[in-house]
């Protein structure tokens, strides 16, 4: 048996140096296209609550024609904040599908943040009105900052941003990041902020509805980021029934996304927009929602891109992994 094989290890700082928004966006677009073409498979999601207070999950999948196989083990440990650590933790492993041998082990935190941001970009790009001038964002954490920053890059017409915090108090650190990019207003009334906005982004832990359905005006687009586990939600009852709903994966939305709160829901997968399997003409008055539960294929295409870049650059650590 071969005994000269090795395993590439990429730690968080190395991943962050190799990640570029453009490359991540292309990798995520590829993931959605592969999913639409049924070349990429996503396997059933594992998502379980732990006695420690954390949530542990596994997302896995493959692209058989490309020899891509792997999983991401990830979850949310809120108590990490008291230890000075990041509550979201993720690790990605890629395998050789011909032998089952692991080829690359990667810190998945930055990948998760970046690929979720890229998915949000595609949602806004495909579904928001081009003349959108006002945006409302719920949350001020890492993902909220990524979502807002990329939306501002994509939509130069956005001049005003209302942000909503969980404690209803301003966040000076968040304001400092975006003060030079837009007119930033802390919103004390979430419903009024939503009603004033053309785009709404919800990037919270998904603890419950963040606003009332009636606050959403015709023509609004909503990126819903936070619902990724049974029992989680950010959107109010009745909103999806009024909207044209788009998802990254139909089954995941029904099981762990916003779709879990509806017995029946007509949805379109975002990949089908990119491949034009679905022809959608957005009317000015349409309310659109993109329910983002996160695909294993997003993690795998980004991880493969990083593996290739690290190999070309000679970075990362390689350890013997005989088999």
Q: Is the pLDDT of residue 181 over 70?
A: yes
- According to CATH, the topology of domain 127-294 is Rossmann fold (3.40.50)
Cα(12)–Cα(283) distance, integer angstroms = 43
Q: Which residues pair with 183 in a beta bridge?
A: 160
Q: What is the pLDDT of residue 322?
A: 85
pLDDT of residue 123: 98
pLDDT(42) > 80: yes
pLDDT of residue 129: 96
Q: What is the pLDDT of residue 164?
A: 98
- What value does the mean pLDDT of the chain take? 96
**CA dihedral of 36, 130, 22, 185, whole degrees rounded to 10:** -120
In eight-state DSSP terms, residue 53 is S
Q: Which residues are 94's β-sheet partners?
A: 70, 104
Domain ranges of the chain: 6-112+297-320, 127-294
Determine the Cα–Cα distance for residues 90 and 102; give it in Å rounded to an integer: 17
Please state which of the ranges 37-46, 80-89, 151-160, 299-308 shows the lowest mean pLDDT: 80-89
Task: Kindly tell me if the per-residue pLDDT of 1 is higher than 70.
Answer: no
Cα–Cα distance measured from residue 162 to residue 144, given in angstroms and rounded to the nearest whole number = 12
**pLDDT at 162 exceeding the cut of 80:** yes
User: Percentage of residues in the chain with pLDDT exceeding 90?
Assistant: 93
Distance CA 178, CA 150 (A): 12
Per-residue pLDDT reduced to its tens digit, 275-317: 999 988 889 999 999 999 999 999 999 999 999 999 999 999 9
Tell me if 6-112+297-320 shares its fold with 127-294.
no
Nearest to 62 by CA among 54, 53, 71: 71
Confidence of residue 10 (pLDDT cuts 50, 70, 90): very high
Closest to 192 in 3D by CA, of 174, 216, 168: 216
State the average pLDDT over residues 114-137: 97
Residue 2: pLDDT band (50, 70, 90) is low
Residue 211 and residue 186: Cα distance in Å, rounded?
A: 15
Cα–Cα distance for residue pair 159/265, rounded to 1 Å: 34
Question: Are 120 and 292 a contacting pair, CB within 8 Å?
Answer: yes
- Residue 262 and residue 291: Cα distance in Å, rounded? 13
- If phi > 0 it is left, if psi is from -120 to 50 it is alpha, else beta; for residue 53 that is left
Q: Give me the CATH code for the 6-112+297-320 domain, please.
A: 3.30.1780.10
Q: What DSSP element (H or E) covers 149?
A: helix 142-154
Q: Of 281, 283, 272, which is closest to residue 246 (Cα–Cα)?
A: 272
Retrieve residue 25's tokens.
Answer: 């966006």
Distance (Å, rounded) from C-alpha 155 to C-alpha 138? 18
Q: Model confidence over 212-259: pLDDT tens digits?
A: 999 999 999 999 999 999 999 999 999 999 999 999 999 999 999 999
77 close to 89: Cβ distance less than 8 angstroms: yes
């Amino acid at each position: 048996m071969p005994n000269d094989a090795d395993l590439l290890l990429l730690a968080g700082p190395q991943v962050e140096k190799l990640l570029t928004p453009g490359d991540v966006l292309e990798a995520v677009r590829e993931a959605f296209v592969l999913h639409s073409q049924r070349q990429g498979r996503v396997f059933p999601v594992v998502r379980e609550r732990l006695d420690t207070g954390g949530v542990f999950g596994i997302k896995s999948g493959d692209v058989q024609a490309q020899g891509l196989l792997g999983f991401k083990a990830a979850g949310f440990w809120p108590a990490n904040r008291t230890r000075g650590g990041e509550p979201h933790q993720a690790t990605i492993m890629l395998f050789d599908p011909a032998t089952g041998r692991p080829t690359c082990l990667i810190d998945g935190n930055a990948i998760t943040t970046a690929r979720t941001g890229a998915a949000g970009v595609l949602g806004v790009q495909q579904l928001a009105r081009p003349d959108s001038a006002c945006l409302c964002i719920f949350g001020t954490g890492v993902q909220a900052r990524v979502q807002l920053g990329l939306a501002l890059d994509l939509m130069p017409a956005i001049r005003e941003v209302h942000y909503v915090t969980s404690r209803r108090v301003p966040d000076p650190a968040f304001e400092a990041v975006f003060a030079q990019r837009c007119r930033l207003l802390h919103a004390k009334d979430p419903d009024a902020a939503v009603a004033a906005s053309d785009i709404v982004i919800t990037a919270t832990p998904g603890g419950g509805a963040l606003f009332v359905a009636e606050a959403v005006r015709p023509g609004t687009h909503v990126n819903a980021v936070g619902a990724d586990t049974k029992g989680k939600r950010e959107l109010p009852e009745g909103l999806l029934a009024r909207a044209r709903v788009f998802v990254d994966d139909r089954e995941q939305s029904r099981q762990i996304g916003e779709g879990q709160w509806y017995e029946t829901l007509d949805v379109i997968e975002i990949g089908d927009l990119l491949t034009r399997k679905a022809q959608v003409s957005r009317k000015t008055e349409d309310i659109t929602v993109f329910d983002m539960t996160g695909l294993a294929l997003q993690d795998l295409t980004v991880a493969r891109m990083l593996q290739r870049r690290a190999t070309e650059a000679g970075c990362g650590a390689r350890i013997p992994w005989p088999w």
